[in-house]
Amino acid sequence: MDPFIFFALLQDGITTGAIYLLLAIGLLIVFSATRVIFVPQGDLLAFGALTAAGLQSGHVPATLWLLDGLSAAALLASLTGGVRAAGRALLVWGVYPAVVSLASVWLARREIPAVSILLALAIVTPMGPLIWRFAYRPMADASVLALLILSMALHFVLIGLGLVFFGPEEASVPALSTANFTIGALDISGQSLCVLGAAVALVVGLGWFFGATVQGKALRAAASDPLGARLVGIDAGATGSLAFGLAAFIAALAGVLIGALTPLSYDAGFEIGLKGFVAAIMGGLVSYPMAAAGALLVGVLESLGSFWASAYREVIVFTLLIPVLLWLSLRRGSDEDRA
């Protein structure tokens, strides 16, 4: 193979690998804190990309009305929880969506790329906690499998909404950088560097969050021992909310990043999310470094695969799971008997 083509494919692979890495991190955070396998994360990725694209083309995206609707419902539901809870809910589910809505309506016409992207993040991120609140939390004690089936159903709900909101057309997000660097004969795109930079920043930021902040430590505690965490007063609802918020933010971020590299349609998020899963599974759904390595491997393999055997690209990526699972299977004893 031509070394330049190889380098281009490698760059491509590492860039998408970084996106998968972001998603794998989001999945692991949610799974360890709540045992939910968050399939709809991929759909939130599409929401993020298409919301940014919509704002950039001067539309007020329909995801905003979804945010407003769900927030209003959360606000109503919190009225039964006493004055203090209601006050806090008013701030989170009343004031915040109002501000975001006004800003979106006002700023959508100006079509400033950075503003569109920030607003998209602001609109999609709260959907994580809202989805947790209305879909998962009512059955938070159910088995992992039941939660997984719920995730699948939720995926279809979001896909259905996505089609209604955005139509079947593909759309692109404005790139954060259109620069192109040339080192020798090699081209490096600025957007690729942005993706890598965002991935590194997120990893460092999360490292700090989990290591140094009270919320981060609470999340870790809830992940390693849910009952113990509850006994020392860590609110399971709040940790779940936080985990889903982080995952939704990560998904939206991944969406606005990848949406600049390739146009996305409303249903494109699922498969991207699944590849994040492949990476997360490589880490046995527990290890972040293994998941990171897996994400890069998936990205590169997919990129090379698309060159050699593009029709079988998906098959190659998912077949990768087989040796990984065999290895996990042999290494690990049975961990059944979930009550």
- The site map against another protein for 253-292 (x = CB under 8 A) is ------------------x--x--xx--x-----------
For residue 332, state whether it binds another protein (rule: CB under 8 A): yes
Nearer to another protein, 95 or 152 (CB): 152
Binding residue for another protein, selected from 180, 213, 224, 319, defined by CB under 8 A? 319
* Count of residues in contact with another protein, rule CB under 8 A: 49
Q: Which of residues 127-156 bind another protein (CB under 8 A)?
A: 135, 138-139, 142-146, 148-150, 152-156
For residue 298, state whether it binds another protein (rule: CB under 8 A): no
**Minimum distance of another protein from residue 251's CB (angstroms):** 18
Nearer to another protein, 156 or 181 (CB): 156
For residue 70, state whether it binds another protein (rule: CB under 8 A): no
DSSP 54-118: HHHTT---HHHHHHHHHHHHHHHHHGGG-HHHHHHHIIIIIIHHHHHHHHHHHHGGG--HHHHHH
Q: Let me know: does 228 contact 220? Beta carbons within 8 Å.
A: no
Whole-angstrom distance, CA of residue 290 vs CA of residue 110:
43
Binding residue for another protein, selected from 28, 33, 37, 121, defined by CB under 8 A? 37
For residue 67, state whether it binds another protein (rule: CB under 8 A): no
Nearer to another protein, 12 or 43 (CB): 43
Binding residue for another protein, selected from 164, 179, 201, 204, defined by CB under 8 A? 164
**Minimum distance of another protein from residue 318's CB (angstroms):** 4
For residue 312, state whether it binds another protein (rule: CB under 8 A): yes
Binding residue for another protein, selected from 77, 85, 98, 157, defined by CB under 8 A? 157
SS3 content of the chain, % helix, strand, coil (to 5): 80, 5, 20
For residue 85, state whether it binds another protein (rule: CB under 8 A): no
283 sits in which H/E element: none
For residue 76, state whether it binds another protein (rule: CB under 8 A): no
Residue 316 CB: number of other CB atoms within 10 A? 16
Nearer to another protein, 40 or 97 (CB): 40
For residue 325, state whether it binds another protein (rule: CB under 8 A): yes
Q: Determine the 3-state secondary structure of 188 from DSSP.
A: strand
Contacts 24+ apart (CB under 8 A), 3-10: 4/185, 4/186, 5/307, 7/186, 8/187, 9/300, 9/303, 9/304, 9/306, 9/307, 10/300, 10/303
Nearer to another protein, 111 or 141 (CB): 141
For residue 84, state whether it binds another protein (rule: CB under 8 A): no
309 sits in which H/E element: none
Whole-angstrom distance, CA of residue 186 vs CA of residue 162:
38
β-pair partners for 186: 183
**Minimum distance of another protein from residue 13's CB (angstroms):** 19
Cβ-count burial 158-194 (b if 16+ within 10 Å, e if not): bbebbeebbeeebbbbbbbeeeeeeeeeeeebebbbb
338 sits in which H/E element: none
Whole-angstrom distance, CA of residue 259 vs CA of residue 50:
8
**Which residue is it, tokens 């009225």?**
79
Part of the chain binding another protein (CB under 8 A), chosen from 50-58, 189-197, 228-236, 310-318: 310-318
**Minimum distance of another protein from residue 313's CB (angstroms):** 8
323 sits in which H/E element: helix 321-331
**Minimum distance of another protein from residue 308's CB (angstroms):** 14
User: Interface residues with another protein (CB under 8 A)?
Assistant: 37, 135, 138-139, 142-146, 148-150, 152-157, 159-161, 163-164, 271, 274, 277-278, 281, 311-312, 314-315, 318-319, 321-322, 325-326, 328-330, 332-339
